[in-house]
Amino acid sequence: MKKLSPVKGKQSGIAAIEFMVAAPLLIVIVFAVTEFAWAFHQYHTMTRATRDGARHMASGALIGSVGMIYLDTSLVQETGNLVVYGNTTGAGDPLLPRWTRADVTVTSPDASHIRVSAIYNYVPLVGRIPAFYGGTPLSLSFQMQSTVEMRAL
């Protein structure tokens, strides 16, 4: 018969206790990294779409050789559709959940530039952090904004 050494008998179960202490922290870190990556992805999608819309608007806003910018309503509508839906007709699903055409504005800050601005209300995957001791839950939602200004071509 084999006898356990006194040191080995005292060490049994330590790994399980260490895991129970470390697991909540690791789970919080995984959720935080996932949430940050999701927010970064949505911000990147929004800024890329805004840049594409500004490029589209800049290529069609200049009237002939007179050098004047004209914000035609159909071109503004096409630009908004391009930003939100990824195409000028506005067909299909938005590039981001709950993103609408009303979240995009097209302006001309001066005689030679156009500006396309977009906002997006980011809703996190986690939702809200629950409140402890009777407080109100902490919302993690925030508003993202992207603005691109280009010289009309």
Residue 118 CB burial class (10 angstroms; 0-12, 13-18, ≥19)? buried
By mean pLDDT, which of 33-47, 63-77, 94-108, 128-142 is the weakest?
128-142
Whether residue 39 has pLDDT greater than 90? yes
Confidence at 8, pLDDT banded by 50, 70, 90: low
pLDDT, position 137:
76
Whether residue 4 has pLDDT greater than 60? no
Confidence at 64, pLDDT banded by 50, 70, 90: low
CB atoms within 10 A of CB 129: 11
Whether residue 41 has pLDDT greater than 80? yes
Confidence at 29, pLDDT banded by 50, 70, 90: very high
Contact 46, 146 (CB under 8 A): yes
